[in-house]
Amino acid sequence: MSNKSAKLEVADKNFDFPVLEGTLGPDVIDIRKLYGQTGRFTYDPGFTSTAACESALTYIDGEEGVLLHRGYPIGQLAEKSSFMEVSYLLLNGELPSKTELDDFTYTISRHTMLHEQLATFYRGFRRDAHPMAVMCGVVGALSAFYHDSTDITDPEQRKIASHRLIAKMPTIAAMAYKYTVGQPFMYPDNNLSYTGNFLKMTFGVPAEQYEVHPAIEKAMDRIFILHADHEQNASTSTVRLAGSSGANPFACIAAGIACLWGPAHGGANEAALNMLREIGTPDQIPHYIERAKDKNDPFRLMGFGHRVYKNYDPRATVMQETVREVFDALKVNDPVFEVALQLEEMALNDPYFIEKKLFPNVDFYSGVILSAIGFPTTMFTVLFALARTVGWVAQWNEMISDPEQKIGRPRQLYTGPTERNYVPMADRK
Ligand code: ACO
């Protein structure tokens, strides 16, 4: 703790509140005793000025466009690491030795299968169910299948549940896809990498040999790295809030998936791809930029702007490079990429976007890549959920191990009626 303090005057009385310092980022004013001392709450809808927890996992500097996992820049991790290694890093705090990584990867691969009865659980969904609806249901249902890892007071059970969630998510996601397209479920193949196995379970069929394309495997693994964690965003905060009551980890991650489903969170890459397709050709770009600037037009450039980043989202840089790699590997020449590149350039040179600090975010290019790989748009958020599971699990573990952890219970500014007497039906107007 620092020696700094913040002064507050309430009803002619002065109060001092401690100021806490992190290793990076702004200091925070510790207002835990505010209500006890002043009888007042703070009002902060959307938590734009509230740190809800301490965390040593991920750091974002939105002004500078910095994203660090356990101190390592996302660009370096995306270029040099693997999703398994980043998962180990997020869970354990340090990069693994070769043996540690091999052991971790082996352990995860031994949890990839689902209880066989879960296949019948899928069949209870309508065929046209959105795969995110299936994800919410199936992940929540894991707590009904894996009772031996739901005691959150036992560190060993927490570890097993964490491994199960990370390992089973690709199987669950691929089965959600297979169910909607009416193809047979594919069992995991533990000879493949985490990401290669996911691609095979999604795009392979039992009737044919499936060869994992190395460039696609690498691109997909990188996309997973880019989505692995992002500090206290809405879905992560949802996981923490659900977990703060002592709920089991499978239920907590299902809550996170539900939150991620919303278009303001996980659904923006689909909207960005649809927008690029609607623009169609570069000559239409100026018209859409004018629309985005027009206050009387609700249209916004999808994949542009971010609540935290007021600079280039570092993940968007990696995404842009990955589009080229995927297009080269698959020999695809989708005009949406050219539209995206020119739209980005035009917007970044436009005073409106410069003044408002609106830059491409991670979603601007991800839809273009995922579509080229062959995923339908309904699967985009599912892939996000798959990758974010490790972040959710790491944040949930951090919260459970935090001695200061309390059940989350925000307060409110009440604006309803004051106390009044019940009126019998016959006397009501
Ligand atoms: N196109 C045009 N104008 C925009 C855009 C955009 N994409 N984004 C923000 N603006 C303008 C707003 O009109 C507003 O202008 P004003 O000050 O004149 O009223 C100003 O910039 C600030 O916008 P806010 O919505 O207040 O900023 P906020 O931080 O709340 O919103 C958000 C961030 C929701 C991401 C917003 O930029 C947006 O809607 N972007 C498009 C959707 C999108 O890409 N979402 C993905 C986010 S990344 C993720 O979730 C993984």
Question: Going by DSSP bridges, is the β-strand pair 58-61/5-10 parallel, antiparallel, or unpaired?
Answer: unpaired
- Select from 67, 238, 300, 381 the residue to mutate for testing ligand 1; criterion: most ligand atoms less than 8 Å from CB: 300
Assess contact for 149 and 161: CB atoms under 8 A: yes
Q: Which two tokens stand for residue 210?
A: 């499936």
115 carries an active-site annotation:
no
Q: Please indicate whether residue 356, judged by its CB atom, sits closer than 6 Å to ligand 1.
A: yes
Q: Please indicate whether residue 367, judged by its CB atom, sits closer than 6 Å to ligand 1.
A: no
- 279 Rama class: left (phi>0) / alpha (psi -120 to 50) / beta: alpha
Overall pTM surpassing 0.95 (yes/no): no
Q: How far does residue 363's CA lie from ligand 1's centre (Å)? A: 13
Query: For the chain (length 429 residues), average pLDDT per consecutive 10?
Result: 88 96 97 96 95 97 96 97 98 98 98 96 94 96 93 95 98 97 96 98 97 96 97 97 97 97 83 93 96 95 90 91 91 90 94 95 91 94 97 98 94 97 96
Q: Please indicate whether residue 361, judged by its CB atom, sits closer than 6 Å to ligand 1.
A: yes
306 carries an active-site annotation:
yes
Q: What is the pLDDT of residue 1?
A: 57
- Select from 259, 307, 364 the residue to mutate for testing ligand 1; criterion: most ligand atoms less than 8 Å from CB: 307
- Select from 275, 301, 304 the residue to mutate for testing ligand 1; criterion: most ligand atoms less than 8 Å from CB: 304
Q: Please indicate whether residue 270, judged by its CB atom, sits closer than 6 Å to ligand 1.
A: no
272 CA closest ligand 1 atom index: 44
**Dihedral through CA 203, CA 204, CA 205, CA 210, nearest 10?**
150
Q: Which segments of 148-284 does DSSP mark as H helices, in order? A: 155-181, 194-203, 214-226, 234-244, 249-260, 268-279
Within 8 A by CB and 6+ apart from 209, the residues are: none
For atom 49 of ligand 1, the residue with the nearest CA is: 265
